[in-house]
Amino acid sequence: MNLKNFSYFVKEALISLSRNRVLSLATVSTMAVCILFLGLAVLLTVNAGNFMNQLESDIEIIAYLDDSLSDQQIRAIESTIQATAGVQGVTFVSKEEALQKLQQKFSEEDYDLQQTLGKNPLPHTYEVKAVNPQEVAQVAQVIGEIPGVYKVNYGQGVVERLFQVTKWVRIISMVFMVLLAMGAIFLIATTIRLAIFSRRKEIYLMKLIGATDWFVRWPFFIEGILMGLVGALIAIGLLSGGYTSLINNAQTALFFIPLVRQQSFLIQIYLSLAAVGVVLGTIGTYISLNRFLNV
Amino acid sequence: MLVQFYNVTKVYGNGVKALNDISLKIDRGEFIFLMGPSGAGKSTFIKMLFREEVPTQGQIFISSRSVVRMKRSEVPHLRRSMGVVFQDFKLLENKTVGENIAFAMKVVGAGNREIAARTTEVINMVGLKGKEDSFPGQLSGGEQQRVGIARAIANRPLLLIADEPSGNLDMATAEGIMDLLYNINRKGTTVVMATHARELVKNAGKRIITLEAGRVVSDLCTLE
């Protein structure tokens, strides 16, 4: 394709876009709606993933220590835990700190918990983070066998169920996005087919006169790409506007869900959506056009 | 020899046998009428020439090249050596007369200066001087067919194919169109024209091929 032809193709594409205004508008709207939904799905998936990661990283193992241990023995246990495979970090919580935390939970200043309880009944504990939250059960078992540790707790039962849930949330959101993308391609191909159908006489003529397939295709591709891009930009505008105001306003109401807010990451998502618009426009045009080129 | 058909048979997907064992030759510079009742196979014959259809059996050569064995990518080049005129004109309604002709030249990659010169030339040739900027809807049927012919000859084809070019026109207008086609033929272009109109063919003194039920039933120089 030489430069002279390219300007001709662009001119043809623009002329036909403005001449078939209604169909162009229908295609652009379809694109915008499809990409908007796709974008919503991506943002939901990304945030769900982020939330799941956070939940998983909150998982920790609490190792309860025997009351009779000396300071030296306690420090020895810390080194043993530190050296255990799969352990990311260890924090010591003394029985005094534990009591203070408990006191804070009751949060009544004039109420002295220690006085009520007499002797501090809480043990020293180690809070252990696993490198991989999925391995928490194995790590907990190893730690539980260290002499001086009389009990480990990592939310047995609950954690396993959480992993089941996060796994399914991830699978379902992937499947949902793939289905949405396929639906979008079908919808867009149908709209573009309508636009091309109204010009089948022109295509037939071009082919009979001796136009190559690519000569016929280029203006349509340029049209499809432009429509995909414009549709994507509309969708991205709506999406980024909505998401920004969600971050700014709704975060207080939804404080327990950590929304993804890194600008660079969000921009990456928006750019990918623009690329998706271009790709959808191209694939849609390709699918719709081929039938009419068989002359 | 421009066109050679060897034992060409065409059976469509629905089982209809449109052409049945046709063999014939067309020389450069000939003017040929293709006659026969509806459904005799005229349209199929014509579509074979520009390879919209390919034979089920047999061989077709155009300028000594096999149309049957031709690759899909070579078809555009075959078609550039031909011009096609349709019964329903098939003009682009949203383009002017000049643009319709320029479009045909642009499609095959002609340069802008060449297009401008040749468009003026063929518009004059078909007698439509001054109508360059009219839209097809503003022209009479005869004038529209002249645009169709101008478009078909713009790329200087070796072979001009006309499928019932006067089918939608009254007798006087049809005769004008015939004169134009004879003129084009006299300048060296081979013409194949399918028609029903015996009165146009009768005294023309041209070769007449008659098809019936997919077979050539006569190939004569006058109509009896």
| Residues written for chain B | 224
B92 near A CB under 8 A: yes
- Classified as helix, coil or strand, B62 is strand
Residue A294's alpha-carbon distances to A74, A79, B74, B162, in angstroms, are 81, 75, 14, 22
Average of pLDDT values for A98-121? Answer: 74
B104 contacts in chain A (CB < 8 Å): 209
Q: Which residues of B109-120 are buried (b: 16+ CB within 10 A; e: fewer)?
A: ebeeeebeebbe
| pLDDT at position B9 over 90 | yes
A140-168 tens-digit pLDDT:
888 888 888 888 888 777 878 888 887 88
- Written as six digits, the tokens of B62 are 């155009």
- Residue B64 Ramachandran class (φ > 0 left, ψ -120 to 50 alpha, else beta): left
The more confident residue out of A51 and B143 is: B143
* Enclosing H/E stretch for A65: strand A61-65
* Angle, CA of B35, B41 and B142, to the nearest 5°: 50
* Enclosing H/E stretch for B81: none
**Cα of B83 to nearest chain A Cα, Å:** 7
A209 near B CB under 8 A: yes
Per-residue pLDDT, A52: 77
Mean pLDDT lowest among A240-254, B51-65, B134-148: A240-254
Q: Do A202 and B155 touch (CB under 8 A)?
A: no
Percent of chain A with pLDDT over 70: 94
Cα–Cα distance measured from residue B168 to residue B174, given in angstroms and rounded to the nearest whole number = 9
A210 contacts in chain B (CB < 8 Å): 76-80, 82, 107-108, 155
Residue of chain A with shortest Cα separation from B112: A4
B74 near A CB under 8 A: no
Distance of CA B81 to the CA centre of its chain: 11
A290 near B CB under 8 A: no
Percent of chain B with pLDDT over 70: 99
Asked if A48 and A169 count as a contact pair (C-beta separation under 8 A), the reply is yes
The owner of tokens 């983070």 is: A129
Residues 93-122 of B with CB under 8 A from A: 94, 104, 106-109
Selecting from A201, A202, A209 the residue whose C-beta is nearest the C-beta of B108 gives A209
Q: Do A208 and B84 touch (CB under 8 A)?
A: yes
Percent of chain A with pLDDT over 90: 13
A199 near B CB under 8 A: no
- ipTM of the modeled complex: 0.85
* Angle, CA of A14, A17 and A21, to the nearest 5°: 145
- Written as six digits, the tokens of B4 are 């050679």
Residue B189: which of B197, B180, B176 has the closest Cα?
B180
* Enclosing H/E stretch for A151: strand A149-153
B92 contacts in chain A (CB < 8 Å): 201-202, 205
Cα–Cα distance measured from residue A225 to residue A242, given in angstroms and rounded to the nearest whole number = 25
The strand pairing partners of A92, in sequence order, are A126
A8 contacts in chain B (CB < 8 Å): 106
- Residue A75 — very low, low, confident or very high, per pLDDT cuts 50/70/90? confident
Residue B41: which of B68, B95, B5 has the closest Cα?
B5
**Cα of B202 to nearest chain A Cα, Å:** 31
Q: How many contacts (CB atoms, under 8 Å) link A and B?
A: 39
Cα–Cα distance measured from residue A227 to residue B15, given in angstroms and rounded to the nearest whole number = 43
Residues 212-271 of A with CB under 8 A from B: 212, 215
Decide: pTM greater than 0.80. Answer: no
DSSP state letter for B77: H
Cα–Cα distance measured from residue A134 to residue A118, given in angstroms and rounded to the nearest whole number = 40
* Residue B209 CB neighbours (<10 A): 21
Q: Do B107 and A202 touch (CB under 8 A)?
A: no
- Residue A110 — very low, low, confident or very high, per pLDDT cuts 50/70/90? low
Residue A13 one-letter amino acid: A
B90 contacts in chain A (CB < 8 Å): 201, 204-205
Selecting from A19, A201, A211 the residue whose C-beta is nearest the C-beta of B107 gives A211
Round the average pLDDT of chain A to a whole number and report it: 84
Cβ partners under 8 Å of residue B68, min gap 6: B54, B55, B58, B59, B60
